[in-house]
Every structure is written in C-alpha cells, then in structure tokens.
A and B are shown apart, each in its own frame.
Chain A
C-alpha cells in the first residue's frame, strides 16, 4: 500500500485559475514538506511543516499556500496559476523535523496552459 498519497497524479489548469494539490502520509511522521521539480530547475524545496506548524518557507510567492487540516495532511493551494508554475510537485515526510531522511510521494504533475 502506498504510504504517501498525492492526488491527482496529473493536473491541467488554465492560466489564472486556482488548484489544490493533495498530500496524505500514513507513516506516522510529524514533519511534512513540499518540493517542486521542473526541467528548468533542480529539485526545489518549498515548505516544511512540523506538527502542522510552518517551519520553513522558501517560496517567494504568496500564491503558494500550504494547508494542514490534520497532522498527516499537507495540501498545497496555488492561486492565479501561471505557465511557469508547470512542474511536478512532490510531497515528502520525515519522522520529525530536522536531520532525518525524507520519504517522497509519487508527485503531481501540473501543466498550466
């Protein structure tokens, strides 16, 4: 059974719209993360959460907003979508926030037209 679920697997959106990327982990971890991977840039760290609290935010744009309704959920809301937002978005988790190995989900591939 998959331990980290990301939904949807593929997502197509139009410029200016808003989408929510879903992430749930069933590893019992206390820390969760979002990353972005595109052809133009290497894997890019976006956010980290620990016990549902924001720990790091490396994303300059406020259009990207994480949402944590439960400790094992960390969704990513993206507003006013732009073509440059096209990328694969990976969710990850670790036992606790800090120097632990991270477990990655399968990713959501977002294409903005």
Chain B
C-alpha cells in the first residue's frame, strides 16, 4: 500500500522568499509522483510530475521538485514566491495500475 505524507500543514513566508514544501512517500515499486495546487474554492491544478529520468523536474510558474529515492521524497521548491502562490499544495503518488493517493496538503501563505 502506498502512502504519502506532507509533514507541514501550514507554511508562511514573505513575498520574494524561497520555499520548500515537503512530501515523503512509501511504496515498493515503480511510482508516479506529482504536485497539484488548489486555490480557495477551486479544483486542483496540475503543477508537475516525475516518473523517471532527471530527478529534478520543472513545472509551471517557476516551481520545481526533486525526487530522491534514498529519502523517499519529492519536495516542491520555488526560489521566489509571489502572493498569488498562496494556496494549498497537494503531493500525490500512484503506482502502476493503482489508484492515486494524495497527501493531506500544505497550506502556503505568502505575506506581502
């Protein structure tokens, strides 16, 4: 059974700061990892994904994430956040032919 953990329920930073949102997973086989963003009152929007190849993947709006097999992690990063990045971020993991599992989400608050 795959699980995904987002250890930080809430992260607060100032505009222009860098940020890292953490995601750890447990799964024994090949996995597909992704990040989604949810603005208040809206559905989720896809940010980026990793399946194989370069462990650092680039997404939309300056986001990137790095896969680490040794740490079982797929942390999301952004070098300089904007107030519009305030939202809830979800990490998701799925194995081949398995239903996706989402983490509990991390609420990012960006202060001006």
- Chain A positions within 8 Å of B, measured between CB atoms, are 4, 42-45, 48, 56, 58, 90, 92, 98-99, 101-107
Cβ A42 vs Cβ B43 within 8 A: no
Stretch from B21-29, B74-82, B101-109 forming part of the interface with A: B101-109
Determine whether the beta carbon of A99 is less than 8 Å from that of B45. Answer: no
CA distance A4 to B42 in the complex (A): 12
Give the interface SS of chain B, mostly helix, strand, loop or mixed: loop
Closest 4 CB pairs of A and B: A104-B43, A99-B32, A43-B102, A101-B46
Q: Which residues of B contact A92 (CB under 8 A)?
A: 43-44
Contact A42 B96 (CB under 8 A): no
- Besides the contacts A42-B105, A43-B44, A99-B49, what 15 more A-B pairs have beta carbons closer than 8 Å? A42-B90, A42-B103, A42-B104, A45-B99, A45-B100, A48-B99, A56-B98, A90-B43, A98-B97, A99-B94, A102-B44, A103-B46, A104-B36, A105-B43, A106-B42
